[in-house]
Homo-oligomer: A and B are copies of this chain.
């Protein structure tokens, strides 16, 4: 890659690797990273089953870790990459963090925040969707297929 800056696909690939870690732990495979100045400052994957904690979505852990790293609860200069469209809980947390950008992969047709109210996000947060959407959706489908067996 030489001196090339990483792009959205590169960061989403990092988030996807986190989703794969969740898959291996028998968790619904969703992964997230937060990048700031082209550097990943937080990575996390869904751990709701292992921690028995509904708040342990990948995004929530990533917000906490990124704020801890930066020493700031606000993340205006950061981008959240997440393999699945955030739910209202995670979109609500994104609002409070004032995150600069949200980039997500697959749409969540059951609990995606856009199904409830697009204004759940902060008005200053820019949104991009569909990055590596197929891969992320396939991983989720594979997980639920395995669970039904």
Contact surface of A with B, Cβ cutoff 8 Å? 48-49, 52-55, 60, 63-64, 67-68, 71-73, 87-93, 95-97, 116-117, 119-120
What secondary structure prevails in chain A residues at the interface with B?
A: helix
Q: Is the CB of B54 within 8 A of A96?
A: yes
- A45 CB → nearest B CB, Å: 16
Closest chain B residue, CB of each to CB of A60:
B55
- A134 CB → nearest B CB, Å: 26
Q: 4 other contacts beyond A48-B73, A53-B73, A55-B64, with CB at 8 A cut-off?
A: A49-B73, A55-B60, A88-B88, A89-B93
- A120 CB → nearest B CB, Å: 5
Q: In the complex, A60→B63 CA distance in Å? A: 14
Residues of chain B with a CB closer than 8 A to A96's CB: 48, 54-55, 87, 89
